[in-house]
Amino acid sequence: MINDSLLQSLHSHLAWWGLRQFTSDEAYFQWQREALSPAELAALHRQVERKRRGSPADEVAFYDATAHPNILPVLYSQRYDYYLAIGPRVTNRLGEARSILDAGCGVGILTTFYARQYPGKTFVGIDRSPVSIVRAQEQAKALGLSNVQFECLDLDQSPPTRSYDLILATHALVQAEQDSGIPSRSWSTFERAVESRLQADFERRTGLGLRLDRLNALLSAQGRMIVFEKTRQLARRVPLQRALAARDLGLIEQPELIRYRLVEEIADDGPFYLLGRGAPHQLPWDESPEPDEGRPFDRTKLHTGSTDPDAPLYENHWPSAQRAWEQLHNKRLLKETTRQEPDGRQLHVELGEAEEGVYLYCANTLDQRQLVIVEPVRAVVLESYYQEIVSSAF
Ligand SMILES: C[S@@+](CC[C@H](N)C(=O)[O-])C[C@H]1O[C@@H](n2cnc3c(N)ncnc32)[C@H](O)[C@@H]1O
Protein backbone atom coordinates (compact mmCIF):
# COMPACT_ATOMS: atom_id res chain seq x y z
CA MET A 1 0.00 0.00 0.00
CA ILE A 2 1.59 3.26 -1.13
CA ASN A 3 0.42 6.30 0.78
CA ASP A 4 -0.21 9.70 -0.79
CA SER A 5 2.23 11.67 1.32
CA LEU A 6 5.11 9.33 0.40
CA LEU A 7 4.20 9.74 -3.26
CA GLN A 8 4.04 13.53 -2.82
CA SER A 9 7.51 13.51 -1.26
CA LEU A 10 8.81 11.50 -4.19
CA HIS A 11 7.30 13.93 -6.74
CA SER A 12 8.98 16.83 -4.87
CA HIS A 13 12.26 14.91 -4.74
CA LEU A 14 12.19 14.19 -8.48
CA ALA A 15 11.35 17.85 -9.16
CA TRP A 16 14.34 18.85 -7.00
CA TRP A 17 16.51 16.70 -9.28
CA GLY A 18 15.01 18.60 -12.26
CA LEU A 19 12.96 15.67 -13.53
CA ARG A 20 9.61 16.16 -15.22
CA GLN A 21 6.80 13.69 -15.79
CA PHE A 22 5.60 13.27 -19.38
CA THR A 23 2.77 11.25 -20.83
CA SER A 24 3.35 12.15 -24.47
CA ASP A 25 6.44 11.41 -26.56
CA GLU A 26 5.82 14.56 -28.54
CA ALA A 27 5.99 16.82 -25.48
CA TYR A 28 8.96 14.91 -24.09
CA PHE A 29 11.03 15.12 -27.29
CA GLN A 30 10.14 18.78 -27.69
CA TRP A 31 11.59 19.43 -24.22
CA GLN A 32 14.63 17.35 -25.12
CA ARG A 33 15.22 19.55 -28.19
CA GLU A 34 14.79 22.72 -26.13
CA ALA A 35 17.02 21.57 -23.29
CA LEU A 36 19.88 20.06 -25.28
CA SER A 37 21.88 21.44 -28.19
CA PRO A 38 21.96 19.45 -31.47
CA ALA A 39 25.57 18.50 -30.68
CA GLU A 40 24.61 17.21 -27.21
CA LEU A 41 21.73 15.24 -28.70
CA ALA A 42 23.91 13.72 -31.40
CA ALA A 43 26.55 12.75 -28.80
CA LEU A 44 23.85 11.17 -26.63
CA HIS A 45 22.49 9.11 -29.53
CA ARG A 46 25.99 7.86 -30.25
CA GLN A 47 26.39 6.82 -26.61
CA VAL A 48 23.05 4.98 -26.69
CA GLU A 49 24.13 3.11 -29.84
CA ARG A 50 27.47 2.15 -28.28
CA LYS A 51 25.79 0.99 -25.07
CA ARG A 52 23.69 -1.42 -27.18
CA ARG A 53 26.91 -3.21 -28.12
CA GLY A 54 27.06 -4.25 -24.48
CA SER A 55 30.74 -3.83 -23.55
CA PRO A 56 31.35 -2.67 -19.94
CA ALA A 57 33.45 0.28 -21.16
CA ASP A 58 30.63 1.48 -23.45
CA GLU A 59 28.13 1.11 -20.65
CA VAL A 60 30.25 3.12 -18.22
CA ALA A 61 30.76 5.80 -20.91
CA PHE A 62 26.98 5.98 -21.37
CA TYR A 63 26.27 6.40 -17.65
CA ASP A 64 29.09 8.93 -17.36
CA ALA A 65 27.61 10.98 -20.21
CA THR A 66 24.07 10.86 -18.84
CA ALA A 67 25.22 12.06 -15.42
CA HIS A 68 26.25 15.40 -16.93
CA PRO A 69 24.12 18.16 -15.28
CA ASN A 70 22.55 19.21 -18.63
CA ILE A 71 21.69 15.70 -19.75
CA LEU A 72 20.68 14.15 -16.44
CA PRO A 73 17.22 15.70 -15.96
CA VAL A 74 16.27 15.17 -19.60
CA LEU A 75 17.37 11.58 -19.85
CA TYR A 76 16.26 10.45 -16.40
CA SER A 77 12.82 12.02 -16.86
CA GLN A 78 12.08 9.05 -19.13
CA ARG A 79 12.32 6.95 -15.96
CA TYR A 80 9.97 9.16 -13.93
CA ASP A 81 7.26 6.51 -13.62
CA TYR A 82 9.87 3.87 -12.89
CA TYR A 83 10.91 5.92 -9.84
CA LEU A 84 7.28 6.21 -8.80
CA ALA A 85 6.92 2.43 -9.07
CA ILE A 86 10.12 1.43 -7.28
CA GLY A 87 10.81 4.27 -4.80
CA PRO A 88 7.77 3.75 -2.55
CA ARG A 89 7.95 -0.05 -2.72
CA VAL A 90 11.53 -0.02 -1.51
CA THR A 91 10.90 2.71 1.09
CA ASN A 92 8.05 0.68 2.58
CA ARG A 93 10.36 -2.31 2.98
CA LEU A 94 13.33 -0.62 4.63
CA GLY A 95 11.87 -1.80 7.93
CA GLU A 96 14.31 -2.44 10.74
CA ALA A 97 17.43 -2.25 8.55
CA ARG A 98 20.04 0.16 9.91
CA SER A 99 22.67 -0.12 7.17
CA ILE A 100 21.64 -0.26 3.53
CA LEU A 101 23.68 -0.75 0.39
CA ASP A 102 22.31 0.45 -2.95
CA ALA A 103 24.34 -1.52 -5.51
CA GLY A 104 24.49 0.10 -8.95
CA CYS A 105 22.90 3.27 -7.54
CA GLY A 106 23.58 5.38 -10.66
CA VAL A 107 23.40 9.11 -9.93
CA GLY A 108 21.64 8.33 -6.66
CA ILE A 109 18.15 9.63 -7.43
CA LEU A 110 16.52 6.83 -5.44
CA THR A 111 19.32 6.47 -2.87
CA THR A 112 18.98 10.11 -1.85
CA PHE A 113 15.20 9.69 -1.67
CA TYR A 114 15.55 6.77 0.75
CA ALA A 115 18.12 8.70 2.79
CA ARG A 116 15.76 11.67 3.05
CA GLN A 117 12.93 9.43 4.20
CA TYR A 118 15.03 7.72 6.88
CA PRO A 119 17.57 10.11 8.46
CA GLY A 120 18.27 7.49 11.16
CA LYS A 121 19.49 4.85 8.74
CA THR A 122 22.85 4.74 6.99
CA PHE A 123 23.00 4.38 3.21
CA VAL A 124 25.89 3.56 0.90
CA GLY A 125 25.54 3.79 -2.87
CA ILE A 126 28.09 2.16 -5.15
CA ASP A 127 28.40 2.44 -8.90
CA ARG A 128 31.11 1.88 -11.50
CA SER A 129 30.36 5.11 -13.38
CA PRO A 130 32.71 7.72 -11.86
CA VAL A 131 30.74 10.71 -13.16
CA SER A 132 27.50 9.28 -11.74
CA ILE A 133 29.18 8.96 -8.34
CA VAL A 134 30.51 12.54 -8.43
CA ARG A 135 27.01 13.76 -9.28
CA ALA A 136 25.48 11.64 -6.50
CA GLN A 137 27.98 13.06 -3.97
CA GLU A 138 27.30 16.64 -5.06
CA GLN A 139 23.56 16.17 -4.88
CA ALA A 140 23.66 14.51 -1.46
CA LYS A 141 25.71 17.45 -0.22
CA ALA A 142 23.30 19.95 -1.73
CA LEU A 143 20.46 18.15 0.03
CA GLY A 144 22.36 18.34 3.32
CA LEU A 145 22.32 14.56 3.75
CA SER A 146 24.80 13.21 6.28
CA ASN A 147 23.50 9.62 6.30
CA VAL A 148 24.50 8.67 2.76
CA GLN A 149 27.87 8.01 1.10
CA PHE A 150 28.67 7.22 -2.50
CA GLU A 151 31.65 5.22 -3.71
CA CYS A 152 32.90 4.47 -7.19
CA LEU A 153 33.31 0.73 -7.38
CA ASP A 154 32.90 -1.87 -10.10
CA LEU A 155 31.35 -4.95 -8.55
CA ASP A 156 32.81 -7.04 -11.37
CA GLN A 157 36.34 -5.94 -10.47
CA SER A 158 36.44 -5.73 -6.68
CA PRO A 159 34.12 -6.67 -3.82
CA PRO A 160 32.72 -3.94 -1.59
CA THR A 161 33.57 -4.20 2.10
CA ARG A 162 31.44 -3.94 5.29
CA SER A 163 28.27 -5.79 6.08
CA TYR A 164 24.72 -4.58 5.50
CA ASP A 165 21.25 -5.40 6.85
CA LEU A 166 19.67 -4.70 3.49
CA ILE A 167 21.04 -4.70 -0.04
CA LEU A 168 19.17 -3.08 -2.90
CA ALA A 169 19.82 -4.04 -6.50
CA THR A 170 17.35 -2.39 -8.83
CA HIS A 171 18.16 -2.57 -12.54
CA ALA A 172 21.74 -3.38 -11.67
CA LEU A 173 22.39 -7.13 -11.64
CA VAL A 174 21.21 -8.40 -15.03
CA GLN A 175 22.00 -5.55 -17.38
CA ALA A 176 22.46 -7.80 -20.44
CA GLU A 177 19.02 -7.11 -21.90
CA GLN A 178 19.81 -8.86 -25.16
CA ASP A 179 20.49 -12.18 -23.38
CA SER A 180 17.46 -14.36 -24.06
CA GLY A 181 18.10 -16.58 -21.05
CA ILE A 182 17.71 -20.34 -20.74
CA PRO A 183 15.43 -22.13 -23.22
CA SER A 184 12.83 -24.67 -22.09
CA ARG A 185 13.51 -28.42 -22.40
CA SER A 186 11.59 -28.53 -25.68
CA TRP A 187 8.95 -26.64 -27.62
CA SER A 188 6.16 -28.58 -25.86
CA THR A 189 6.95 -27.50 -22.31
CA PHE A 190 7.75 -24.36 -20.32
CA GLU A 191 9.98 -26.35 -17.94
CA ARG A 192 13.68 -25.66 -17.76
CA ALA A 193 16.05 -28.57 -17.15
CA VAL A 194 17.96 -28.23 -13.90
CA GLU A 195 21.30 -28.22 -15.60
CA SER A 196 24.21 -26.60 -13.84
CA ARG A 197 26.14 -25.87 -17.05
CA LEU A 198 23.27 -23.85 -18.57
CA GLN A 199 22.80 -21.97 -15.31
CA ALA A 200 26.51 -21.25 -14.90
CA ASP A 201 26.71 -20.03 -18.52
CA PHE A 202 23.83 -17.62 -17.96
CA GLU A 203 25.34 -16.30 -14.72
CA ARG A 204 28.70 -15.81 -16.40
CA ARG A 205 27.37 -14.24 -19.64
CA THR A 206 25.23 -11.72 -17.80
CA GLY A 207 27.65 -11.12 -14.90
CA LEU A 208 24.87 -12.06 -12.47
CA GLY A 209 26.79 -14.82 -10.67
CA LEU A 210 29.80 -12.79 -9.61
CA ARG A 211 27.73 -9.74 -8.64
CA LEU A 212 25.36 -11.82 -6.57
CA ASP A 213 28.18 -13.69 -4.83
CA ARG A 214 29.87 -10.44 -3.90
CA LEU A 215 26.69 -8.83 -2.61
CA ASN A 216 25.57 -11.95 -0.79
CA ALA A 217 28.87 -12.07 1.09
CA LEU A 218 28.08 -8.62 2.57
CA LEU A 219 24.67 -9.53 3.92
CA SER A 220 24.39 -9.79 7.71
CA ALA A 221 23.00 -13.00 9.23
CA GLN A 222 19.40 -11.75 9.26
CA GLY A 223 19.98 -9.60 6.18
CA ARG A 224 17.49 -9.02 3.40
CA MET A 225 17.86 -8.18 -0.25
CA ILE A 226 15.59 -6.38 -2.70
CA VAL A 227 16.08 -7.32 -6.33
CA PHE A 228 14.29 -5.82 -9.30
CA GLU A 229 15.58 -6.61 -12.77
CA LYS A 230 14.43 -6.83 -16.38
CA THR A 231 13.70 -10.52 -16.02
CA ARG A 232 10.02 -10.78 -16.75
CA GLN A 233 10.40 -13.36 -19.55
CA LEU A 234 10.36 -16.86 -18.10
CA ALA A 235 13.64 -17.69 -19.84
CA ARG A 236 15.39 -14.98 -17.79
CA ARG A 237 13.23 -15.19 -14.67
CA VAL A 238 13.97 -18.89 -14.06
CA PRO A 239 17.80 -18.54 -14.05
CA LEU A 240 17.61 -15.40 -11.91
CA GLN A 241 15.43 -17.21 -9.37
CA ARG A 242 17.68 -20.27 -9.41
CA ALA A 243 20.71 -18.04 -8.88
CA LEU A 244 19.04 -16.45 -5.84
CA ALA A 245 17.88 -19.78 -4.39
CA ALA A 246 21.34 -21.33 -4.86
CA ARG A 247 22.73 -18.58 -2.61
CA ASP A 248 20.25 -19.37 0.14
CA LEU A 249 18.10 -16.33 -0.60
CA GLY A 250 14.42 -17.18 -0.12
CA LEU A 251 11.20 -15.34 -0.81
CA ILE A 252 9.83 -13.29 2.10
CA GLU A 253 6.81 -12.19 0.11
CA GLN A 254 5.18 -13.04 -3.19
CA PRO A 255 7.18 -11.48 -6.06
CA GLU A 256 5.33 -8.68 -7.79
CA LEU A 257 5.26 -7.98 -11.52
CA ILE A 258 5.34 -4.25 -12.14
CA ARG A 259 4.03 -2.25 -15.08
CA TYR A 260 5.02 1.38 -15.54
CA ARG A 261 5.36 3.87 -18.37
CA LEU A 262 8.49 5.11 -20.08
CA VAL A 263 6.73 8.23 -21.35
CA GLU A 264 4.31 6.54 -23.82
CA GLU A 265 5.84 3.07 -23.86
CA ILE A 266 4.57 0.47 -21.40
CA ALA A 267 7.29 -1.42 -19.53
CA ASP A 268 6.36 -4.80 -18.06
CA ASP A 269 9.17 -5.37 -15.66
CA GLY A 270 10.42 -7.23 -12.65
CA PRO A 271 9.42 -9.22 -10.70
CA PHE A 272 10.13 -7.23 -7.55
CA TYR A 273 11.65 -9.63 -5.01
CA LEU A 274 12.04 -9.21 -1.26
CA LEU A 275 14.47 -11.89 -0.13
CA GLY A 276 15.88 -13.17 3.12
CA ARG A 277 18.28 -15.82 4.13
CA GLY A 278 17.38 -19.40 4.84
CA ALA A 279 14.59 -21.32 6.41
CA PRO A 280 12.00 -18.83 7.71
CA HIS A 281 11.36 -17.60 4.20
CA GLN A 282 10.00 -20.57 2.39
CA LEU A 283 7.52 -19.25 -0.13
CA PRO A 284 7.84 -21.49 -3.16
CA TRP A 285 9.52 -20.22 -6.31
CA ASP A 286 7.21 -20.11 -9.29
CA GLU A 287 8.69 -21.26 -12.61
CA SER A 288 5.45 -21.25 -14.58
CA PRO A 289 4.45 -18.66 -17.19
CA GLU A 290 2.56 -15.74 -15.74
CA PRO A 291 -1.22 -15.57 -16.26
CA ASP A 292 -1.81 -14.06 -19.68
CA GLU A 293 -4.47 -12.33 -21.75
CA GLY A 294 -5.17 -15.25 -24.11
CA ARG A 295 -8.81 -16.09 -24.80
CA PRO A 296 -9.91 -19.04 -22.65
CA PHE A 297 -10.56 -22.11 -24.78
CA ASP A 298 -14.20 -23.23 -24.76
CA ARG A 299 -15.06 -25.50 -27.69
CA THR A 300 -18.81 -24.95 -27.20
CA LYS A 301 -18.39 -21.23 -27.90
CA LEU A 302 -16.01 -21.36 -30.85
CA HIS A 303 -18.71 -20.66 -33.43
CA THR A 304 -20.37 -17.87 -31.48
CA GLY A 305 -17.30 -15.71 -30.84
CA SER A 306 -17.43 -13.26 -33.75
CA THR A 307 -19.77 -11.74 -36.32
CA ASP A 308 -16.84 -11.19 -38.73
CA PRO A 309 -16.93 -14.01 -41.34
CA ASP A 310 -13.13 -13.70 -41.86
CA ALA A 311 -12.29 -13.99 -38.19
CA PRO A 312 -10.75 -17.28 -37.05
CA LEU A 313 -12.80 -19.49 -34.76
CA TYR A 314 -10.11 -19.13 -32.13
CA GLU A 315 -6.84 -17.25 -31.88
CA ASN A 316 -4.36 -17.06 -29.03
CA HIS A 317 -0.85 -15.59 -29.13
CA TRP A 318 -0.02 -16.17 -25.47
CA PRO A 319 1.49 -19.06 -23.50
CA SER A 320 -2.08 -20.19 -22.64
CA ALA A 321 -2.34 -21.24 -26.32
CA GLN A 322 -0.47 -24.39 -25.29
CA ARG A 323 -3.26 -25.44 -22.93
CA ALA A 324 -5.82 -24.75 -25.65
CA TRP A 325 -3.83 -26.83 -28.16
CA GLU A 326 -3.63 -29.69 -25.65
CA GLN A 327 -7.41 -29.58 -25.28
CA LEU A 328 -8.18 -30.01 -29.00
CA HIS A 329 -10.11 -33.21 -29.70
CA ASN A 330 -8.84 -35.98 -31.95
CA LYS A 331 -5.98 -34.05 -33.44
CA ARG A 332 -4.66 -35.32 -36.78
CA LEU A 333 -1.42 -33.87 -38.07
CA LEU A 334 -1.29 -32.68 -41.68
CA LYS A 335 2.20 -31.16 -41.65
CA GLU A 336 4.78 -30.40 -39.02
CA THR A 337 8.28 -29.02 -38.79
CA THR A 338 10.60 -28.88 -35.79
CA ARG A 339 13.89 -27.14 -36.32
CA GLN A 340 16.72 -25.56 -34.46
CA GLU A 341 17.09 -21.86 -35.19
CA PRO A 342 20.52 -20.18 -35.46
CA ASP A 343 20.04 -18.42 -32.10
CA GLY A 344 19.61 -21.80 -30.37
CA ARG A 345 15.87 -21.82 -29.88
CA GLN A 346 13.89 -24.77 -31.13
CA LEU A 347 10.79 -23.96 -33.15
CA HIS A 348 7.85 -26.23 -33.89
CA VAL A 349 5.07 -25.47 -36.37
CA GLU A 350 2.18 -27.78 -37.07
CA LEU A 351 -0.88 -27.74 -39.25
CA GLY A 352 -3.59 -30.16 -38.27
CA GLU A 353 -7.23 -31.07 -38.11
CA ALA A 354 -9.29 -31.56 -34.98
CA GLU A 355 -12.97 -31.82 -34.20
CA GLU A 356 -12.93 -28.09 -33.54
CA GLY A 357 -11.56 -27.17 -37.00
CA VAL A 358 -8.29 -26.84 -38.90
CA TYR A 359 -5.56 -25.45 -36.71
CA LEU A 360 -2.07 -23.99 -36.89
CA TYR A 361 0.11 -24.23 -33.81
CA CYS A 362 3.55 -22.65 -33.34
CA ALA A 363 5.69 -23.04 -30.25
CA ASN A 364 9.30 -22.39 -29.39
CA THR A 365 11.66 -22.95 -26.50
CA LEU A 366 11.60 -19.27 -25.54
CA ASP A 367 7.95 -19.65 -24.49
CA GLN A 368 6.26 -18.15 -27.53
CA ARG A 369 3.04 -19.88 -28.46
CA GLN A 370 0.39 -19.30 -31.11
CA LEU A 371 -2.78 -21.23 -31.93
CA VAL A 372 -5.22 -20.33 -34.71
CA ILE A 373 -8.30 -22.42 -35.55
CA VAL A 374 -10.46 -21.89 -38.65
CA GLU A 375 -13.37 -23.71 -40.26
CA PRO A 376 -12.26 -26.52 -42.64
CA VAL A 377 -13.40 -24.54 -45.73
CA ARG A 378 -10.78 -21.90 -44.91
CA ALA A 379 -7.92 -24.34 -44.40
CA VAL A 380 -6.01 -22.79 -47.30
CA VAL A 381 -5.43 -19.63 -45.25
CA LEU A 382 -3.62 -21.60 -42.55
CA GLU A 383 -1.79 -23.64 -45.15
CA SER A 384 -0.20 -20.51 -46.62
CA TYR A 385 0.47 -19.16 -43.14
CA TYR A 386 2.27 -22.42 -42.35
CA GLN A 387 4.44 -22.09 -45.49
CA GLU A 388 5.22 -18.48 -44.65
CA ILE A 389 6.43 -19.35 -41.14
CA VAL A 390 8.42 -22.35 -42.28
CA SER A 391 10.21 -20.43 -45.02
CA SER A 392 10.78 -17.21 -43.03
CA ALA A 393 11.95 -18.81 -39.81
CA PHE A 394 14.78 -20.89 -41.20
C1 LIG B 1 19.87 1.36 -15.04
S2 LIG B 1 20.97 2.04 -13.85
C3 LIG B 1 20.01 1.80 -12.40
C4 LIG B 1 20.27 2.84 -11.35
C5 LIG B 1 19.46 2.67 -10.09
N6 LIG B 1 19.76 1.43 -9.40
C7 LIG B 1 17.97 2.76 -10.35
O8 LIG B 1 17.24 1.83 -9.96
O9 LIG B 1 17.53 3.75 -10.92
C10 LIG B 1 22.20 0.77 -13.73
C11 LIG B 1 23.43 1.21 -12.95
O12 LIG B 1 24.17 0.05 -12.57
C13 LIG B 1 25.54 0.37 -12.67
N14 LIG B 1 26.31 -0.86 -12.79
C15 LIG B 1 26.19 -1.82 -13.74
N16 LIG B 1 27.09 -2.80 -13.52
C17 LIG B 1 27.80 -2.45 -12.42
C18 LIG B 1 28.88 -3.05 -11.70
N19 LIG B 1 29.42 -4.20 -12.12
N20 LIG B 1 29.36 -2.44 -10.62
C21 LIG B 1 28.82 -1.26 -10.21
N22 LIG B 1 27.81 -0.63 -10.85
C23 LIG B 1 27.30 -1.22 -11.93
C24 LIG B 1 25.62 1.24 -13.92
O25 LIG B 1 26.81 2.00 -13.95
C26 LIG B 1 24.36 2.08 -13.77
O27 LIG B 1 24.61 3.29 -13.13
pLDDT of 305: 59
Question: For residue range 58-69, what is the model confidence (pLDDT) as tens digits?
Answer: 999 999 999 999
Ligand 1 atom showing the smallest separation from residue 107 Cα: 27
Question: Average pLDDT for residues 21-36, to the nearest whole number?
Answer: 96
Q: Is the pLDDT of residue 2 over 90?
A: no
CA–centroid distance, 348 to ligand 1, in Å, is 38
Question: For residue range 88-130, what is the model confidence (pLDDT) as tens digits?
Answer: 999 999 988 999 999 999 999 999 999 999 999 999 999 999 9
Question: Average pLDDT for residues 21-37, to the nearest whole number?
Answer: 96
Q: Is the CB of 166 under 6 A from ligand 1?
A: no
Q: Is the CB of 32 under 6 A from ligand 1?
A: no
Q: Which of 48, 105, 158, 168 to mutate to test the pocket of ligand 1 (most atoms within 8 A of CB)?
A: 105
Question: Average pLDDT for residues 73-82, to the nearest whole number?
Answer: 97
Ligand 1 atom showing the smallest separation from residue 207 Cα: 19
Q: What domains are there in the chain, each with its CATH number? A: 4-277 (3.40.50.150), 299-393 (no CATH)
Q: Is the pLDDT of residue 325 over 90?
A: yes
CA–centroid distance, 258 to ligand 1, in Å, is 19
> pLDDT averaged over the chain?
93
Q: Is the CB of 128 under 6 A from ligand 1?
A: yes
Contact partners, residue 31, CB within 8 Å, separation at least 6: 20, 22, 74, 77
pLDDT of 393: 54
Q: Which of 73-77, 109-113, 173-177 has the lowest mean pLDDT?
A: 173-177
Q: Is the CB of 106 under 6 A from ligand 1?
A: yes
Q: Is the pLDDT of residue 374 over 60?
A: yes
CA–centroid distance, 216 to ligand 1, in Å, is 17
CA nearest ligand 1 atom 1, residue: 171
343 falls in which pLDDT band (50, 70, 90)? confident
391 falls in which pLDDT band (50, 70, 90)? confident
Question: Average pLDDT for residues 217-233, to the nearest whole number?
Answer: 94
Ligand 1 atom showing the smallest separation from residue 129 Cα: 25
CA–centroid distance, 104 to ligand 1, in Å, is 3
pLDDT of 215: 97
Question: Average pLDDT for residues 72-76, to the nearest whole number?
Answer: 96
210 falls in which pLDDT band (50, 70, 90)? very high
Q: Is 283 left (phi over 0), alpha (psi -120 to 50) or beta?
A: beta
Question: Average pLDDT for residues 42-53, to the nearest whole number?
Answer: 88
Q: Is the CB of 174 under 6 A from ligand 1?
A: no
Q: Is the CB of 175 under 6 A from ligand 1?
A: yes
CA nearest ligand 1 atom 24, residue: 104
Q: Which of 2-6, 25-29, 161-165 has the lowest mean pLDDT?
A: 2-6
Q: Is the CB of 105 under 6 A from ligand 1?
A: yes
CA nearest ligand 1 atom 5, residue: 105
Q: Which of 63, 71, 134, 203 to mutate to test the pocket of ligand 1 (most atoms within 8 A of CB)?
A: 63
Q: Is the CB of 172 under 6 A from ligand 1?
A: yes
Q: Is the CB of 240 under 6 A from ligand 1?
A: no
Q: Is the pLDDT of residue 189 over 70?
A: yes
Q: Is the pLDDT of residue 306 over 70?
A: no
pLDDT of 279: 60
Q: Which of 68, 153, 171 to mutate to test the pocket of ligand 1 (most atoms within 8 A of CB)?
A: 171
Q: Is the pLDDT of residue 304 over 90?
A: no
CA–centroid distance, 52 to ligand 1, in Å, is 15
Q: Is the CB of 269 under 6 A from ligand 1?
A: no
CA–centroid distance, 185 to ligand 1, in Å, is 32
Q: Is the CB of 155 under 6 A from ligand 1?
A: yes
Please classify residue 334 by burial: count the beta carbons closer than 10 Å to its beta carbon, then call 0-12 exposed, 13-18 middle and 19+ buried. middle
Do residues 213 and 247 touch, judged by C-beta distance below 8 A?
Answer: yes
CA–centroid distance, 175 to ligand 1, in Å, is 8
Q: Is the pLDDT of residue 341 over 60?
A: yes
281 falls in which pLDDT band (50, 70, 90)? low
Q: Is the pLDDT of residue 337 over 60?
A: yes
* pTM of the full structure: 0.93
